Amino acid sequence: MTVLSQEDKLAITDVLNRYVHHVDSNEADEWLALFTEDGAFDIPGLMRLEGRDQLRTMVATVAEQGGGKWRHQITNVVVDAGETAGLARVRAYGLVTDWNQGGQPIAFTDYRIKMRNQGGWKIHELIAGPVAIPGQ
């Protein structure tokens, strides 16, 4: 069993904090840099984006649909070591609010994230499983 240092856990948490700030600020290059080259973003039953070209569309979609007023929050982050050195697994909650509508919640998700250390921690696969989408 591998063990993660506190420094690793802090670095992984920093990646996740940057993830939400960059996507909300329409900073595609910075957001993409948080993923491995073969990284993936998955909303089960809705979409799966693989690789940097496909991932780039996510930032544009958030900017277009949210008009710069959506805010992603990631909370209750739990970081565990992966099966081998250089891998980690993260569980967290995600909340998206729409400030075009006074901060109304528009999605709540369970995040399951696989991280790889490739000279720094990066997201290899992020699964955002919807728990609730108001109005649906």
User: What local confidence, expressed as pLDDT, does residue 2 receive?
Assistant: 81
Assign 133 a pLDDT band (cuts: 50, 70, 90). low
| Confidence band, pLDDT 50/70/90 cuts, at residue 87 | very high
Token code pair at residue 120: 């720094």
Mean pLDDT (whole number) for 11-29? 98
Please give the Cα distance from 118 to 28 (Å, whole number): 20
CB–CB of 120/46 below 8 Å?
no
The CA-CA-CA angle for residues 80, 82, 85, to 5°, reads 120
Which domains are assigned to the chain?
6-132 (3.10.450.50)
Model-wide pTM > 0.75 = yes
pLDDT surpasses 90 at 16: yes
